[in-house]
Chains A and B, each alone.
Chain A
């Protein structure tokens, strides 16, 4: 049965709930519960239309297993909610959700975790290293979140607009170009940031300590690169700090 969606569905409430989508992350349904919570306001029309059974069934489906990039979950929430309103068979709604996990995860990881986030953080590191101080931090928060909120809003709207044909939204040239450009820009900006940060953090070291710093950084890099499957940064850091504490006690 098809229930015509109202002109202005509860996008605002759904978007607000999407900001908490990972709040109940667990090993069984991963983001599923959060997805169900975010989708529920968009399903209320089904209940209002006197179709309580359809509403409850849609809520059940909405809370099933899901895992993707949190900023793009709205695409699946919007698409699934629209499909429920359009009377798409339940198995097809389940298949749609399952099919979206991989692409949304992969796209979000490349676009945000390996692109936009390190890019804006790299710009902030450059700002701090060049003496901008708290202005650089504020700039990072504003710039990053402008992209973050816009992406979440676009994802929810695009999911609702396309429904089961949501793949059309993922093939948008702008999205593809943004992914490629943000990767290159991130590589360049963080490349610029690293020498400046090395100068910022290493500026206070003089004489033998500067030589020791260069040796520790180079040795640490070699160790992490060679044993990347077993050695993590936190372990390397703690091991070096323990060694330094011990050496410091001996070398009075």
Chain B
């Protein structure tokens, strides 16, 4: 992988990380978007789409309400696609999922760290804020956004580093059966998480009947195709 592509992935991961909470929340942070674009940058849209779909299922578990902590799957998907790209076909799916889930956890921790740093910055600026100084207010806000951009860049760099390590040291040491087992674990857990996450959103009310009707329709379409 060339330095140009690596820097492109780093820039894309940073934008994706920034979109999650700070600016502009237009959902490029969704794995379904982050993955295919990373794949296109690597000339491998198929891997990007597949890992995008896989991590989108993990994303269904996340409800970003208030101060709740959750994994960050945007930059994680970018790193996962980078890890999976080198392995042909479905062989890289499990490897990508492994790198992506670790990066996702690190992303979640980094969000908490940045929020604590923001809290400290706000406390330090209490006096001018309580005096109604609009310039301090805007500067504080802009600094926090820059802090989040730096966080997203660090998380993406960590993920891309992990991807490089996985490709170099792990990919060659696992047998073909082992690779299939990794893929089974990745896809199986994604399907389980996606289903449970959706059922939590749907709840036990009348929407559950609509969900059941959807599943029956989906099975019929899948069977007919």
What B residues does A33 contact at CB under 8 A? 122, 129, 137, 140-141, 144
B122 touches A23 (CB 8 A): no
What B residues does A220 contact at CB under 8 A? 188-189, 191-193
**Chain-B contact segment, one of A92-100, A157-165, A170-178, A225-233:** A225-233
| Chain B, Cβ-Cβ closest to A149 | B26
B178 touches A24 (CB 8 A): no
Give the docked Cα–Cα distance between A183 and B217 (Å): 18
What A residues does B216 contact at CB under 8 A? 191
Which single member of B25, B49, B215 contacts A191 (CB below 8 Å)? B215
Give the docked Cα–Cα distance between A56 and B42 (Å): 51
What A residues does B52 contact at CB under 8 A? 128, 137
B55-71 contact mask (Cβ, 8 Å, vs A): 1 or 0: 01111110111110001
- Looking at the assembled complex, report how far the CB atom of A128 sits from the nearest CB atom of chain B, in whole angstroms: 6
- Looking at the assembled complex, report how far the CB atom of B44 sits from the nearest CB atom of chain A, in whole angstroms: 13
What A residues does B190 contact at CB under 8 A? 201, 237
A248 touches B53 (CB 8 A): no
What B residues does A4 contact at CB under 8 A? none
Q: Any chain A CB within 8 A of the CB of B150?
A: no
Which single member of A197, A223, A237 contacts B186 (CB below 8 Å)? A237
CB under 8 Å from chain B, chain A span 187-205: 187-202, 204-205
Q: Any chain A CB within 8 A of the CB of B134?
A: yes
| Chain B, Cβ-Cβ closest to A109 | B65
Which single member of A60, A105, A205 contacts B184 (CB below 8 Å)? A205
B211-222 contact mask (Cβ, 8 Å, vs A): 1 or 0: 111111111011
A245 touches B182 (CB 8 A): yes
| Chain B, Cβ-Cβ closest to A240 | B185
Which single member of A20, A189, A218 contacts B141 (CB below 8 Å)? A20
| Chain A, Cβ-Cβ closest to B214 | A191
Using known A-B contacts A20-B22, A140-B33, A224-B196, determine if residue A133 contacts B132 with beta carbons closer than 8 Å. no
Q: Any chain A CB within 8 A of the CB of B168?
A: no
Which single member of B63, B65, B101, B180 contacts A241 (CB below 8 Å)? B101
CB under 8 Å from chain A, chain B span 85-116: 89-90, 94, 97-98, 101-102, 104-105, 108, 115-116
A248 touches B179 (CB 8 A): yes
| Chain B, Cβ-Cβ closest to A250 | B178
Q: Any chain B CB within 8 A of the CB of A217?
A: yes
| Chain A, Cβ-Cβ closest to B37 | A137
Q: Any chain B CB within 8 A of the CB of A57?
A: yes
Q: Any chain A CB within 8 A of the CB of B7?
A: no
Q: Any chain B CB within 8 A of the CB of A48?
A: no
Which single member of B36, B101, B145 contacts A20 (CB below 8 Å)? B145
What B residues does A51 contact at CB under 8 A? none
Give the docked Cα–Cα distance between A59 and B225 (Å): 59
Give the docked Cα–Cα distance between A212 and B60 (Å): 23
| Chain A, Cβ-Cβ closest to B192 | A220
| Chain A, Cβ-Cβ closest to B112 | A27
A184 touches B27 (CB 8 A): no
What B residues does A248 contact at CB under 8 A? 174-175, 177-179, 181-182
What A residues does B180 contact at CB under 8 A? 205, 209
B191 touches A217 (CB 8 A): yes
| Chain A, Cβ-Cβ closest to B207 | A187
**Chain-A contact segment, one of B9-17, B152-160, B197-205:** B197-205
B27 touches A252 (CB 8 A): no
B194 touches A234 (CB 8 A): no
B60 touches A201 (CB 8 A): no
Give the docked Cα–Cα distance between A46 and B66 (Å): 32
A247 touches B178 (CB 8 A): yes
A241 touches B94 (CB 8 A): yes
Which single member of B22, B71, B197, B222 contacts A199 (CB below 8 Å)? B222
New A-B contacts (16) at CB < 8 Å, excluding given A33-B141, A105-B66: A23-B142, A30-B67, A33-B137, A60-B129, A130-B225, A187-B210, A188-B210, A195-B218, A204-B89, A215-B188, A225-B199, A233-B61, A240-B186, A240-B188, A241-B94, A245-B182
- Can you name 29 A-B pairs with beta carbons within 8 Å? A20-B23, A23-B145, A24-B140, A25-B115, A25-B118, A26-B122, A30-B67, A33-B122, A33-B129, A59-B137, A70-B25, A105-B66, A118-B198, A124-B32, A141-B28, A186-B202, A187-B210, A187-B211, A196-B218, A201-B50, A213-B184, A216-B185, A234-B101, A234-B105, A237-B193, A243-B185, A245-B182, A247-B178, A248-B177
